Each structure stands twice: as C-alpha cells, then as structure tokens.
C-alpha cells in the first residue's frame, strides 16, 4: 500500500524503518530453520557446513540421512505412533472443546469465566507440573505407559486450543439463524448440524489442527506417561541427541517443518474462508 501524499518525512522514515525492523526480527526467528534444512542434505555426518557444501559442489550433498530415516524401524515406528496419538487426541480434543465452547457461548451459563479459566489452564500451568500430575494420576488408574493414557494426556493439552478457536468463531455467529431454523420446525440436532456447525466449521478445523500440532510436537508428557511402545517422534529425536548425534535428526526436523508449514497454511486458508462466510474482508 502506497503512502499518502500528505505524510511527513518523519512518518515516511518510520514507515520504512518499521518494516526493516520487522524483517530483521522475522529473519532472527526463522534463521535456525533456514540453516537446518540444507544441513539435512549434508553428505558428511556433521552438523556444520562442509567446504563442498559452501562451494555448492554436488559431492557435498546427499540424501543419505533421509534414506537412513525411512529404512530405520525405530524412526518409522515413532513417526507412526506420533500420527496415531496425534490424530486420536485431536479428534477427542475437537469434540470436547467444541461442546465446551458451545456451552460457554450461552450468556446464562453461571461461572463462565471460572470454567474458561479451568479449560485453558493447561496452556498456563508449566508443562512439567502437568506432566508430573498426569503421571501420578494415570499410574493410579493403570493408564501409564499405554496409548490410552498418552492420548488422554495430549487431549487435555489440545482442548484449550479448540475452545479458544471455536469461541472466537462463535463471537461472529448470528443467533437469529438458529432461531429461524427452530421456527421452521428444525430440531436442536438438525439446527446444529445444518446451521451452526457449517458456519463454525473453519474454527473447529483450525482448533483440531492446533491440537494435532500440539500433540505431534509434545515431549515432556511423553517422557512421564509413555512407555517403550508409545515412543513418539519427538521422544526419538530427544534420545538421538543424547545417545548419538546423527544428522538423521535434521532430516526428521526438516520434514516436520514442511508439515507445520502445510498445517499453518491450511489454518490461514480456513481463517480467510471463515471471514468470507461472515461477510468480512479477509486480511
């Protein structure tokens, strides 16, 4: 967007300076990612750029770490466990979080602020405290070191994201649409599935994606609650850093970065679709 003609020199200076500052901050945040991606193609087992890589020589680059990743049973098992746990916990968190958000959207619900605070507390309480509490609780009910226990633990972490995103979507929801459906003879179930859910679906899907990402990247609770059979991808990466330094970790991290970019792109597209559905201009 071009600057108006009436802007002063100081305003123009701040306009461009602000963008330069934002660009430098953005580069500072993504610099580790920019360095990590090419290092995953290093032909040598080092975490530094070799002379061949800096000289852009073909012998300096290789897919050996990606081949090692997809030929390793332990890495493949951990990735499979991450997807199983992530998808299951995201589904549970989406169902529970959406129901909670719908209930809290009612103005007559007593103690809405307190309930909301309890629901989003996993985002506020230090994760190590939550992990220790879940370990003692799940151990007492024989759910520690089981897939069920890990899924329930990750569900508790994902519910706040679903509640927040669905609640934000419900702010722009027109209640008169539900009343109109009821006046035309629709049951509450029909009103929800045919009127309410289609309009808040972008927020629901966004919350589900955030819940999945939270589960897929989580390690602290896995260290406390999971066993050998529930070893997830972050747990495998953590062990690889402690036990043997291998650039295979960089290959896994690069794939996870690509996955995160794809999911965040989907979230942004859903946000824009939600704004269009509510008659707003996406921005």
DSSP code for 59: G
> What's residue 22's pLDDT?
92
Residue 34 CA, chain-centre distance (Å), reads 20
CA dihedral 192, 194, 200, 202 (to 10 degrees): 140
Task: Give the pLDDT of residue 281.
Answer: 56
E strands, 74-181, are: none
CB burial string 126-161: b at 16+ within 10 A, e below: eeeebbeebbeebeeeebbbbbebbbbbbbbbbbbb
Q: What is the structure's pLDDT at 183?
A: 81
How far is residue 120's CA from residue 105's CA, in Å, rounded to a whole number? 15
How far is residue 279's CA from residue 167's CA, in Å, rounded to a whole number?
18
For the residues of 153-165, what is the DSSP string, one character each?
A: HHHHHHHHHHHHH
Using CA atoms, how far apart are residues 32 and 243, in angstroms rounded to an integer? 22
Taking CA atoms, 77 is separated from 42, 73, 104, 135, 280, in Å, by 24, 6, 39, 23, 44
Locate 191 and state its tokens. 């009103």
Asked if 236 and 223 count as a contact pair (C-beta separation under 8 A), the reply is no
- Structure tokens of 17? 């300076």
Domains by residue range for the chain, with CATH: 9-60 (no CATH), 73-277 (1.10.3720.10)
Q: What is the mean pLDDT of each run of 10 residues along the chain (283 residues)?
A: 73 87 90 84 81 82 86 88 92 92 79 82 87 89 88 92 86 75 81 81 86 89 87 84 76 85 80 66 54
pLDDT for the residue numbered 93 = 93
The single residue listed with the structure tokens 């405290």 is: 129
Query: Which pLDDT score is estimated for 109?
Result: 74
- Between CA 215 and CA 208 the distance in angstroms is 11
Could you tell me which of 251, 167, 243 has the C-alpha nearest to residue 204?
A: 167
The span from the CA of 221 to the CA of 140, in Å, is 16
Between the alpha carbon of residue 119 and those of residues 84, 94, 135, 168, the distances in Å are 24, 13, 19, 15
Measured from the Cβ of residue 211, the count of other Cβ atoms closer than 10 Å reads 28
Q: What is the DSSP letter of 60?
A: G
Length of the chain: 283
CB 156 within 8 A of CB 134: yes
């Amino acid at each position: 967007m071009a600057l108006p003609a009436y802007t002063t020199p100081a305003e123009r200076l701040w306009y461009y300076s602000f963008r330069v500052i934002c660009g430098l901050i953005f580069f500072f945040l993504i610099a580790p990612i920019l360095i990590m991606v090419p290092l995953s193609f290093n032909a040598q087992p080092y975490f530094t750029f070799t002379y061949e890589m800096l000289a852009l020589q073909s012998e300096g680059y290789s897919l050996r770490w990606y081949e090692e990743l997809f030929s390793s049973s332990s890495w493949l098992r951990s990735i499979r466990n991450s997807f199983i746990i992530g998808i299951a916990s995201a589904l549970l968190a989406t169902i529970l979080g959406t129901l909670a958000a719908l209930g809290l959207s009612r103005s007559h619900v007593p103690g809405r602020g307190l309930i909301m605070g309890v629901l989003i507390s996993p985002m506020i309480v230090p994760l190590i405290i939550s992990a220790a509490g879940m370990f003692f609780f799940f151990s007492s009910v024989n759910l520690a070191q089981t897939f069920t226990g890990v899924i329930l633990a990750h569900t508790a972490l994902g519910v706040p994201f679903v509640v927040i995103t669905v609640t934000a979507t419900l702010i722009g929801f027109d209640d008169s649409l539900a009343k109109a459906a009821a006046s035309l003879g629709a049951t509450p179930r029909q009103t929800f599935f045919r009127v309410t859910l289609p309009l808040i679906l972008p927020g629901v899907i966004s919350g589900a994606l955030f819940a999945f990402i939270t589960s897929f990247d989580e390690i602290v609770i896995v260290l406390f609650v999971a066993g050998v059979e529930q070893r997830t991808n972050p747990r495998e990466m953590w062990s690889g850093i402690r036990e043997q330094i291998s650039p295979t970790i960089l290959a896994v991290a690069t794939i996870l970065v690509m996955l995160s970019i794809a999911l965040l792109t989907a979230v942004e597209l859903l946000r824009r679709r939600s704004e269009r559905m509510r008659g707003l201009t996406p921005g």
